[in-house]
Amino acid sequence: MPSPKTNRSLLIIPAFNEQASIGRVVDAVRATGLEIDILVVDDGSRDETAALARRHGAFVVSHPFNLGYGAAIQTGYKFAVRRGYSELVQMDADGQHDPAYVPTLLEPIRSEEADIVIGSRFVEDSGYEMGSARSVGRVFFQRVLAFFGGPHIADPTSGLQALSRKAFALCCSDFYPSDFPDIDVLLLLHRHGFRIREIPVRMAPSPPGRKTMHAGLRALYYPYKMLLSTFRSWRTTVSPGAR
């Protein structure tokens, strides 16, 4: 794999069996003209995801088998730490996120107004429609996060985020979950003193027939696991001035 340029910014795209969209997503990022390196973390795909990502000009790191969304994101963080990046953006591989928002996400990081910036569908009315069950879940976990002393986040499950180096370096630690990094991670980052900000974005609907990471039996496991891990984040000892 060629060495990346010594610039400051990295875009992480976790991907699992995304051959239908990964080339289009990488091309869309490159078409913006942004000076940002693109890393596709292939999470054990059984299709041509990795080969297509390379063909379209992205750096690729591949897991030998599927480890989970959180593990793929953390691999990107570790890559960014080792290669000296000072800021990064993460977005999904299915085309739901618009790379035109990347500069807007990075601006509060660069101006040192925030450490984590979340692209939010709900901080303002964007017209995004979420199913009733997921809408109830979103509000429930907003309240759970606030109950444990975290910030009010309108879109706590958004996969479109930007992070400063200090923030993603902390996420390289063992506490980071391999499956669902959501309000538990936001709570711990908040308790470490990191400033979390939301900016309004528009997102495309999830592709028809796509199985989300909260679907099926995972829809039952997810709230159980999230409550336990959020409680753990609340109980974790944080040194004063950890940030």
Q: Which amino acid is at 167?
A: A
Query: What is the per-residue pLDDT across 132-191, written as a single tens digit (0 to 9) for each?
Result: 788 888 889 999 999 999 999 999 989 999 999 999 999 999 999 998 889 999 999 999
The more confident residue out of 134 and 101 is 101
Contact predicate 166/243, CB 8 Å: yes
pLDDT at position 238 is 84
E-state strands within the chain: 9-15, 37-42, 59-62, 87-90, 116-120, 161-164, 196-200
6: pLDDT confidence band, cut at 50, 70 and 90? Answer: very low
CA angle 137–75–138, rounded 5-degree value? 10
Q: With CA atoms as reference, report the closest residue to 111 among 164, 72, 65, 62.
A: 164
Query: 75, 30 in Cβ contact below 8 A?
Result: no
> How far apart are the C-alpha atoms of 148 and 215, rounded to whole Å?
26
All structural domains of the chain with their residue ranges: 9-235
CATH number for 9-235 (one of 1.10.300.10, 3.30.1380.10, 3.40.50.880, 3.90.550.10): it is 3.90.550.10
Mean pLDDT rounded to a whole number for the chain: 90
Which whole-number Å values give the CA distances from 232 to 3, 41, 177, 178, 237, in the listed order? 38, 28, 12, 15, 10
| Tally of residues, the chain | 243
| Best-predicted range by mean pLDDT (105-109, 215-219, 232-236) | 105-109
Confidence of residue 129 (pLDDT cuts 50, 70, 90): confident
Dihedral, CA of residue 201, residue 206, residue 212 and residue 213, to nearest 10: -20
pLDDT recorded at residue 50:
98
pTM above 0.95, yes or no: no
